[in-house]
């Protein structure tokens, strides 16, 4: 069943196009992530809830206009924004009790506090909670009235690893009830970790990114190889009928080519372009490589640099230096990996020992390979 249906929605600001007409449909039990810059994500949510007028199109919630009549649907939609205030003089228990009365619902808030990992701090003043604990309290609050749709802005930004795991688990339990979640995030890694339904939104429009589990990718590659083998097997054997002398000449020629091809200079620098300059990085300077919309990005000491090489080309160059293809869109320097985090049965990530404590996805199918490499 369709919970949210966006039809030809577009937004212009003055003479500038924020994004052109887009279509998006979200069904029950789905988590949809839209990767875009923070400003676009914020404006997109404002359009959803009617705080910003659309330049065209419609937003339907169970077939009814959502943005034009959001107040009447507020009890069926939950929102967690990036920057929200809390009643910091209250305790988490009092805070959730307040929203329970506000929404006039009958719900036991104790399980919500347990889900959010705040049971031991339920009677502590909110102003004494850490940033990550406050973020988890926001999530507990949005579940108080059990909405059909939750809209999240940058849900895991700046939170600790424990909170990311808790938030992911809360989302999984929510959609298991045939509800829906819409996420806007500026981080591709966050989008990929939370769902396989990832879209990129910019001035060119809304584009769905190809994200799949590693098993599906391996299956597709196997099918392509089998197809190629079948085609090749039908080609005639052009070697039949050649005499021995010709074969010897070809063998000698091949040996000469092989010998000459082995005389190569190994180039151990990875180039990246910044404005009109080319920067050459030592492989061990690189923390990880991320591919987005066909462009490879080198992450070096907290900065990001575009590279003209494809991810496959980079992996062939970087593998001898201890780099690992942990995901179809990521290559990681194993020397930088600090820990492996399990989010769900099929979802993992690698936490790096860099300045940002970066977290990048690890495909389920790559976990066994990683264990073999590190001898675990």
CB 146 within 8 A of CB 109: no
pLDDT at 235 over 80: no
pLDDT at 264 over 70: no
pLDDT value for 305: 86
Select the highest-mean-pLDDT range: 119-128, 183-192, 332-341. Answer: 119-128
Residue 274 belongs to domain with CATH number: 2.40.50.1020
CB 288 within 8 A of CB 299: yes
Q: Which domain holds residue 29?
A: 2-208
**Cα separation, 297 vs 6, whole angstroms:** 32
Q: Is residue 226 very low, low, confident or very high in pLDDT (cuts 50, 70, 90)? A: low
Overall number of domains in the chain: 2
Of the residues 178, 208, 238, the one at which a domain ends? 208
Alpha carbon 314 to its chain's center: 21
Query: For residue 164, which phi and psi values (nearest 5 degrees)?
Result: -60, -40
| Strand partners of residue 19 | 11
Question: Which 8-state DSSP code applies to residue 275?
Answer: T
Per DSSP bridges, beta strands 205-208 and 197-202 are: antiparallel
Stretch 224-239: mean pLDDT, rounded? 48
Residues 277 and 196 in one domain: no
Strand locations in 237-322, DSSP E?
270-274, 277-281, 288-292, 295-300, 303-307
CB 179 within 8 A of CB 121: no
Stretch 319-334: mean pLDDT, rounded? 94
pLDDT value for 66: 94
Q: In what order do the strands lie in the sheet with 337-344?
A: 337-344, 347-352, 359-362
355 CB contacts (<8 Å, ≥6 apart)?
301, 302
**Cα separation, 4 vs 65, whole angstroms:** 10
Residue 179 belongs to domain with CATH number: 3.40.50.300
Torsion angle of alpha carbons 302, 306, 307, 311, nearest 10°? Answer: 80
215 part of a folded domain: no
Query: For residue 350, which phi and psi values (nearest 5 degrees)?
Result: -110, 130
pLDDT value for 251: 44
Stretch 260-282: mean pLDDT, rounded? 67
CB 336 within 8 A of CB 288: yes
At 29-87, the pLDDT tens digits run 999 999 999 999 999 999 999 999 999 999 999 999 999 889 899 899 999 999 989 99
19 part of a folded domain: yes
Of the residues 208, 238, 261, the one at which a domain ends? 208
Residues 274 and 193 in one domain: no
pLDDT at 185 over 90: yes
Residues 196 and 275 in one domain: no
Q: What are 91's two structure tokens?
A: 């305790």
- pTM summary value: 0.67
CB 56 within 8 A of CB 21: yes
CB 18 within 8 A of CB 43: yes
Q: Is residue 181 very low, low, confident or very high in pLDDT (cuts 50, 70, 90)? A: very high
CB 133 within 8 A of CB 102: no
46 part of a folded domain: yes
Question: Which 8-state DSSP code applies to residue 175?
Answer: H
**Cα separation, 351 vs 268, whole angstroms:** 26
Residues 160 and 276 in one domain: no
Residues 180 and 99 in one domain: yes
**Cα separation, 343 vs 346, whole angstroms:** 8
**Cα separation, 366 vs 192, whole angstroms:** 15
**Cα separation, 368 vs 92, whole angstroms:** 41
265 part of a folded domain: no
335 part of a folded domain: yes
Among residues 368, 360, 343, the alpha carbon closest in space to that of 288 is found at 360
261 part of a folded domain: no
pLDDT value for 230: 52
Q: Is residue 211 very low, low, confident or very high in pLDDT (cuts 50, 70, 90)? A: low
Residues 198 and 312 in one domain: no
Per DSSP bridges, beta strands 180-185 and 149-153 are: parallel
At 280-310, the pLDDT tens digits run 888 998 999 999 888 999 998 888 889 989 9
Give me the sign of the Cα torsion angle 156, 158, 160, 163: negative
Neighbours of 93 (CB within 10 A): 18
Q: What are 185's two structure tokens?
A: 């995030």
């Amino acid at each position: 069943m369709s919970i949210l249906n966006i039809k030809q929605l577009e937004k212009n600001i003055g003479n500038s196009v924020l994004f052109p007409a887009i279509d998006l449909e979200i069904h029950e039990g789905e988590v949809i992530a839209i990767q875009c810059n923070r400003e676009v994500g914020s404006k997109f949510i404002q359009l959803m809830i009617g705080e910003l007028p659309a330049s065209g199109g419609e937003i339907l919630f169970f077939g009814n206009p959502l943005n034009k009549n959001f107040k009447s649907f507020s009890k069926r939609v939950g929102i967690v924004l990036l920057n929200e205030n809390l009643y910091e003089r209250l305790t988490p228990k009092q805070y959730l009790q307040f929203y329970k009365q506000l929404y006039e619902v009958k719900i036991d808030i104790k399980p919500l506090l347990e889900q959010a990992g705040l049971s031991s701090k339920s009677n502590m003043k909110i102003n004494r909670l850490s940033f990550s604990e406050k973020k988890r309290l926001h999530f507990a609050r949005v579940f108080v009235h059990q909405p059909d749709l939750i809209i999240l802005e940058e849900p895991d930004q700046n939170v600790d690893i424990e909170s990311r795991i808790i938030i992911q688990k809360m989302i999984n339990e929510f959609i298991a009830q045939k509800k829906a979640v819409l996420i806007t995030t500026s981080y591709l890694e966050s989008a990929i970790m939370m769902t396989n339904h990832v879209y990129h939104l910019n001035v060119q429009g809304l584009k769905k990114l190809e994200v799949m589990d590693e098993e599906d990718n391996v299956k597709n590659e196997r099918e392509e190889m089998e197809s190629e083998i079948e085609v090749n097997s039908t080609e005639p054997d052009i070697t039949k009928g050649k005499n021995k002398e010709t074969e010897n000449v070809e063998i000698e020629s091949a040996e000469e080519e092989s010998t000459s091809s082995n005389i190569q200079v190994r180039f151990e620098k990875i180039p990246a372009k910044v404005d009109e300059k080319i920067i050459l990085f030592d492989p061990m300077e690189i923390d990880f490589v991320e591919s987005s919309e066909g462009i490879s990005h080198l992450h070096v000491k907290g900065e990001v640099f575009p590279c003209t090489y494809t991810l496959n080309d980079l992996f062939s160059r970087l593998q001898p230096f201890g780099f690992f293809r942990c995901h179809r869109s990521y290559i990681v320097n194993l020397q930088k990996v600090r820990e492996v985090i399990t989010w769900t049965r099929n979802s993992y990530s690698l936490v790096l020992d860099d300045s940002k404590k970066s977290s990048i996805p690890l495909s389920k199918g790559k976990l066994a390979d990683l264990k073999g490499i590190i001898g675990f």
